[in-house]
Amino acid sequence: MFMLSVETVSRFTYLGSDIDSDGYSYPEIHRRLGISGSIMAQLDVWRQQRLSLSTKLRIYTSLVQLIVLCGSETWTMRKVDSDRIQSFHMQALHRILNQRTKLPVLLLTDVIHYLVTSVATWRTHLLRRHFNCQ
C-alpha cells in the first residue's frame, strides 16, 4: 500500500470557491462581490434609455447576481455577510434605476430570502440522496 501524506493548508480553492480554515465564508463573499462590482461597472447598459427596466433587471439577474450567489449554498452565513450582500444588491438596483431615492417596493427582491431557500433546497437534496443510497 502507498502511504500519502496530506499537507495542511489554511486556504485553498475548491470548484472555484475559496475555502478558508476558519470556516467562515467572508473571503469568498468579498471576492464574489468584487467581481460582480467590476462587472456592473463595465456594463454600459444601465444608462441606456432604449432598454426597458425589465430587460435591465434580467441582465442584472443573469450576469451579476448569478456571480454573487454561485455556490452560496455552502457558505457559512453571518449577519455581517448577509448585510454586505443585501447592501450590494440595493446599490446595484439604485444604479440600474439611476436614482438616489427610495426604490419601488416591487423591485425589492430579497437576496437573503433566496439564499435561505437555496440552502434549504440543497440540504433537502442531500438528505434525499443520503436516504436513496441506503
Q: For 79-123, how does the pLDDT look when each residue is reduced to its tens digit (9 = 90+)?
A: 898 889 888 988 888 888 776 555 554 455 566 666 666 666 655
Confidence tier at 15 by pLDDT (50, 70, 90): confident
Task: Supply the pLDDT for residue 22.
Answer: 80
Mean pLDDT of 43-62: 87
* C-alpha to C-alpha distance for 33 and 30, rounded to whole angstroms: 5
> Domain segments of the chain: what residues?
11-133
- Asked if residues 91 and 35 have their Cβ atoms less than 8 Å apart, the reply is no
Model pTM? 0.69
Q: How confident is the model at residue 24 (pLDDT cuts 50, 70, 90)?
A: confident
DSSP code, position 47 = G
Q: Kindly state the DSSP code that residue 60 receives in the 8-state scheme.
A: I
Q: What's the rounded Cα separation, in Å, for the pair 77 and 116?
A: 10
Signed CA dihedral, 98, 104, 106, 112: sign only: positive
Query: Burial level of 73, CB count in 10 A (0-12/13-18/19+)?
Result: middle
